[in-house]
Amino acid sequence: MGTAERLIASTQQLLWERGYVGTSPKMIQQHAGAGQGSMYHHFAGKPDLALQAIRRSAEELRSQAEEKFREPGPAYARIAAYMLREREALRGCRVGRLAHDPEVVASPILREPLAETFAYLRRRIEELLVEGRERGEFAEAMVAAEVAAALVAVVQGAYVLAQSAGSVEVFEQAVRGGLHLLAAYTA
């Protein structure tokens, strides 16, 4: 792995653990085993490097989600697979955690991958809900766009609860609660 790649990977990791304001160029350089000059040779500065790292994390997240969405089986099962996906709850969501970073939120450029990621997740789950409704899995009255937003929110909120409690169990409890409600929403 080249130096530029190592810098991006290290930035991804540190942004996940500490967010943007909590991560300094020096931390990144030490983590990547690269010098100052090296980092500023490959990237224009902290925002540039962070943008590339955030974009990559967003791609990875979408690709992992898409794996679950594409599984065979009923819509409910595919949504459940996404929500129950093995997650290290106490590390948080590598994309969602940046939604609470003041400098990311203040920068339209850094925020854009977050917006895109959640727009994708909501749209994709909405499609599955509509598909399931047409097959009789869910009640006709379902407002798919709203339920999709709620299900994505359950996962993101579950991270908040888990990190606040310092316990992964709360994460699973919240996700199971969301799926419990969805499973009961039948004709």
Partner DNA sequence: GTCTATATAGTGATAGAC
Partner DNA sequence: GTCTATCACTATATAGAC
CA distances from 151 to 42, 112, 135, 178, 182 (A): 39, 21, 20, 7, 9
* Shortest Å distance, C-beta 151 to a second copy: 7
CA distances from 63 to 6, 70, 126, 182 (A): 21, 11, 17, 24
Among 42, 62, 97, 124, interactor with DNA by CB under 7 A: 42
Binding partner selected for residue 72 from a second copy, DNA, none, CB under the kind-specific 5 to 8 Å limit: none
- Should residue 47 be labelled a site residue for DNA when binding is judged by CB under 7 A? yes
* Shortest Å distance, C-beta 45 to a second copy: 18
Binding partner selected for residue 63 from DNA, a second copy, none, CB under the kind-specific 5 to 8 Å limit: none
Q: Which amino acid is at 108?
A: P
- Should residue 102 be labelled a site residue for DNA when binding is judged by CB under 7 A? no
How far apart (Å, rounded) are the C-alpha atoms in residues 182 and 187? 12
User: Which residues, 79 to 98, sit near a second copy by CB under 8 A?
Assistant: 92, 95-97
- Should residue 157 be labelled a site residue for DNA when binding is judged by CB under 7 A? no
- Should residue 168 be labelled a site residue for a second copy when binding is judged by CB under 8 A? no
How far apart (Å, rounded) are the C-alpha atoms in residues 161 and 42? 38
How far apart (Å, rounded) are the C-alpha atoms in residues 38 and 30? 12
CB atoms near residue 48 (< 10 Å): 13
- Should residue 105 be labelled a site residue for DNA when binding is judged by CB under 7 A? no
* 127 contact partners, CB below 8 Å, separation of at least 6: none
Among 27, 84, 130, 168, interactor with DNA by CB under 7 A: 27
Q: How many residues does the chain have?
A: 187
Residues that bind a second copy (CB under 8 A): 17-19, 21-22, 92, 95-97, 99-103, 105, 108, 111, 114-115, 117-119, 122, 139, 141-143, 145-161, 163-166, 170, 173-178, 180-182, 184-185
